[in-house]
Amino acid sequence: MKKPGSPIIPLAWLLAVVVLDQATKAWVMDRFAMFELLPVIPGLFNLTYLTNTGAAFGMLAGAQTIWRQVFFVGVAALALGVMAFSYRQFRNQGKIFAHAIGLIAGGAVGNLIDRLRFGAVVDFLDFYVGSHHWPAFNVADSAICVGVGLFILGSLLYPPQESEK
Q: Half-sphere exposure of 69 toward its Cβ, with a 13 Å CA cutoff?
A: 11
Task: Give me the residues paired with residue 31 across strands.
Answer: none
Q: Which of 21, 114, 126, 141 is catalytic?
A: 141
Q: Which of 21, 114, 123, 126 is catalytic?
A: 123
Which SS3 state, helix, strand or coil, does residue 121 take? strand
| Active-site residue, 123 included | yes
Give 75-114 as a DSSP string.
HHHHHHHHHHHHHHHHTTS-HHHHHHHHHHHHHHHHHHHH
| Active-site residue, 126 included | no
Dist CA 136 CA 126 (whole Å): 5
Dist CA 5 CA 141 (whole Å): 26
Which SS3 state, helix, strand or coil, does residue 127 take? strand
Residues belonging to the active site: 123, 141
